[in-house]
Amino acid sequence: MPDFPAGVWDYAGVNSFGATRADDLADHPTVKPTALVADAIRDVTRTAEIVIDGFMGSGTTILAAERTKRVAYGIEIEPTYVDVAIRRWEKRTGREAVLADTGETFARVAASRAGENAGHTDTPEALPPIQTA
């Protein structure tokens, strides 16, 4: 049985005042402290093991996995938050994200997609609601 820490974990969240608070809240409404997630990952995985995040949001789990030398996989339904997660990862690691299928960098793909979508109003908010039986 793993040796889990006892007691209550106490971490400053984005609702605490700090240097990155405004930026974190601008990115996502519920950004989690990376240190908290990193400690949780360390408690239940070993170096190089896989961590899966089914609700990636702003990418905190991916950042925590990077910090703890784990391999992270994530999924996020909201494209805006996928972009946030990628930008946070690039900023924290100093590396460029690359689209596996084409080898293009995230910056290049994002710029290309922005040009393709200029003037379009087919965002999910502009589409009619889905009818169910």
SS3 content of the chain, % helix, strand, coil (to 5): 40, 10, 55
Instruction: Identify the CATH number of the domain defined by range 21-116.
Output: 3.40.50.150
Ordered per-residue pLDDT tens for the chain, 133 residues: 456 666 777 887 666 566 665 666 567 678 888 999 999 999 999 999 999 999 999 999 999 999 999 999 999 999 999 999 999 999 999 999 999 999 999 999 999 988 887 776 655 554 455 555 4
- Domain ranges in the chain are 21-116
Residue type, 31: V
Model-wide pTM > 0.85: no
